Chains A and B, each alone.
Chain A
């Protein structure tokens, strides 16, 4: 049992807006929740490289190819420092990787949708990175120091990601008839999944209350989702794409946009593994890990040899 006094002290620090650092005392449950959230965030960055990597080789101009490569490279970087931040909680990266490749750890379901056309890359930048920014801007103020700092850094890069997607989607939306069709089709397919990125409604989100109490999260799923919708409505209008929701309506009273029912059945179905690309994503990541085993072994063996040589020499 954790001492009530210590728990109160911890809560008081949180309430005073202090950051919790790796060496500070923290409730075991706080540590576990953070490990779950942070590693899930890291896995999502890594799996997220796949749907976008799918278009690097086919990007329609050198500029777009470079932008996409830079973006996917950033994502590998985000994954790397999120894993490092998670390691401050006393768990190894290799263990975390095993948990998602062979265990039950999750990554964001959004990456189980296929990128069928190049416009999907633009829609991902605008909607998916747009949603991620809303979430990560909040997490940048999270109570756990290393996670907060990782998100500050991530947010800076994500805004470039969003901008490039939005900008190109806008060009397509006012481009040739084929480009316009592709642009609208991608918005139609990515809109609802991007709303689902904020997670279930507050009433169905078992972790929310606790995470907010500990200031790991500062806002609820529904609050963040509403903030996102309000922004996207304006942005969609500015570039001339239509949000595929007939119930979208400005609410004078609340000052927010009302939106239609989110297709939660689809969400849970994809979470359970039945999205178009779930199996492919896991297959690809496992293959990368397994095909790379001989490389990691070689690097370890070499480092070991060099260490022995150095010891001998000194």
Chain B
């Protein structure tokens, strides 16, 4: 392999890596924003709008950097508005419909816990701009984790109904967790370059946090060995994503030459 091809592939891998992180956050933030004005209590309207704002804000910063790395004259909006379903590389976990409040909280907890361990390691990435962004976002992720964890405890250990609903949500979400720890050539190259993290290294820590929380919340930890979905990082998605993108992108695509910033 020549130096030149190695450089290109590093650039491509970094771009893909940034897009995976950004897509997760945009899509989850978009789902979270659906709660706006429909939350179970005013404090949660505020908290959910805040989390959506953080997630989409993080995605925006990552897309901006991706555009810089890509160097094709695109901007952050290009990645959000002008790519199709197959181009999106977010986790399927993030695109599932918002469900009830328990489902939203359960997903947020699982994702925030994963992000927490991931960002704790990514903040030492050998790229100042990237690691700076990660450190900044990590503070907000800690809040998301604390907030969603507290709600898992309240809902799990609240009433019979809340326990049942929350248990069902975790059961339903479980098969989307396997691919949080899938590693491919992009991850491998990024780890080699000091830009990515090996998620299998913190899998046990993440599992422990999840299990401890569920047990404290008087919930049952679903079977880790059940069938697990895969394919997100190669652009394989549930049918839900296409509908979300249609809604998210329609106005921008209807008037592509207009100024919307």
Q: Which residues of A contact B (CB under 8 A)?
A: 46, 49-50, 53, 56-66, 69-70, 72-73, 76-77, 79-80, 83, 118, 171, 175-176, 178-179, 284-285, 287-288, 291-303, 305
Could you mark each residue 73-106 of chain B with 1 if its beta carbon is under 8 Å from any beta carbon of chain A, else 0? Answer: 0001100110000000000000000001110000
Residues of A within 8 A of B247 (CB): 57-58
User: Given A49-B45, A62-B60, A73-B53: A296 and B40 within 8 A (CB)?
Assistant: yes
- Which of B10-18, B111-119, B134-142, B152-160 is found at the contact surface with chain A? B152-160
Verify B258–A176 contact, CB threshold 8 A: yes
Q: Known: A176-B255, A178-B255, A297-B162. Contact between A284 and B49, CB under 8 A?
A: no
CB-nearest residue of chain B to A59: B251
Chain A, residue nearest B252 (CB): A60
> Any chain A CB within 8 A of the CB of B148?
no
A62-B76, A296-B40, A297-B159 known; 13 other A-B pairs, CB under 8 Å? A49-B36, A53-B33, A57-B34, A57-B244, A62-B63, A66-B57, A69-B49, A178-B258, A287-B38, A288-B38, A295-B40, A297-B162, A298-B161
- Complex alpha-carbon distance, A63 and B53, angstroms: 11
* Chain B residues close to A by CB (< 8 Å): 26, 30, 33-34, 36-46, 49-50, 52-53, 56-57, 59-60, 63, 76-77, 80-81, 100-102, 153-155, 157-159, 161-162, 165, 244, 247-248, 250-252, 255, 257-261
Q: Are the CB atoms of B56 and A66 closer together than 8 Å?
A: yes
Residues of A within 8 A of B255 (CB): 60, 176, 178-179
CB proximity of B255 to chain A, nearest CB, Å: 6
By a CB distance below 8 angstroms, the chain A residues around B37 are 46, 49-50, 53, 72, 284-285, 288
Find B77's partner among A62, A73, A284 (CB 8 Å cutoff).
A62
Dominant SS among interface residues on chain B: helix
A65, B56: Cβ atoms closer than 8 Å: yes
Which residues of A lie under 8 Å from residue B260 when comparing CB positions?
60-61, 64
- Tell me, in angstroms, the Cα distance from A251 to B255 when the chains sit together: 41
Which residues of A lie under 8 Å from residue B248 when comparing CB positions? 57-58
Please indicate the chain A residues that have their CB under 8 angstroms from the CB of B36 in the complex. Answer: 49, 53, 56, 69, 72
Q: Is the CB of A296 within 8 A of B45?
A: no
Residue B155 contacts which of A53, A57, A295 (CB distance < 8 angstroms)?
Answer: A295
Quick one: which of A53, A64, A72, A297 contacts B158, CB cutoff 8 A?
A297
Residue ID in chain B nearest A58 by CB atoms: B251
On whether A284 and B38 interact (CB within 8 A), knowing A66-B57, A69-B53, the answer reads: yes
List residues of chain A with CB within 8 A of the CB of B30: 57
Residue on A with the closest CB to B153?
A302
Q: How far is the CA of A91 from the CA of B77 in the complex (A)?
A: 47
Q: Which of B36, B37, B159 has the most CB of A within 10 A?
A: B37
Q: Which residues of B contact A53 (CB under 8 A)?
A: 33, 36-38
Q: Please determine whether B34 and A63 come into contact, CB atoms closer than 8 angstroms.
A: no
Q: Which of chain B's residues have a CB closer than 8 A to the CB of A79? A: 42
Query: Which one of A69, A80, A296, A297 lies within 8 Å of B56 (CB-CB)?
Result: A69
Instruction: Report how far A118 CA is from B252 CA in the complex, Å.
Output: 11
Residues of A within 8 A of B251 (CB): 58-60, 118
Contact A295 B77 (CB under 8 A): no
A118 vs B29: C-alpha distance when bound (angstroms): 20
Chain A residues near B252 (CB, 8 Å)?
A: 60-61
| A210 CA / B155 CA spacing, docked (Å) | 48
Assess whether B49 is in contact with A298, with CB atoms less than 8 Å apart: no
* Contact present for B40 and A171 (CB under 8 Å): no
| B38 neighbours in A (Cβ, 8 Å) | 53, 284, 287-288, 291
- Residue from A61, A70, A299 within 8 A of B53 (CB atoms): A70
Set of chain A residues within 8 Å of B250, measured between Cβ atoms:
58
Question: How long is the Cα–Cα vector from A21 to B258 in the complex, in angstroms?
Answer: 52
Q: Report Cα–Cα, A303/B150, bound state, in Å.
A: 11
In whole angstroms, what is the CA distance A65 to B159 when docked?
36
Q: List 10 A-B contacts (CB under 8 A).
A: A49-B37, A53-B38, A56-B33, A57-B30, A61-B261, A83-B42, A176-B258, A285-B37, A292-B41, A301-B159
Known A-B contacts A57-B33, A61-B252, A73-B53; the reply to A288 vs B39 at CB < 8 A is: yes
Set of chain A residues within 8 Å of B52, measured between Cβ atoms: 56, 69
Looking at the assembled complex, report how far the CB atom of B76 sits from the nearest CB atom of chain A, in whole angstroms: 6
CA distance A296 to B252 in the complex (A): 38
Q: Which of A76, A291, A295 has the most CB of B within 10 A?
A: A295
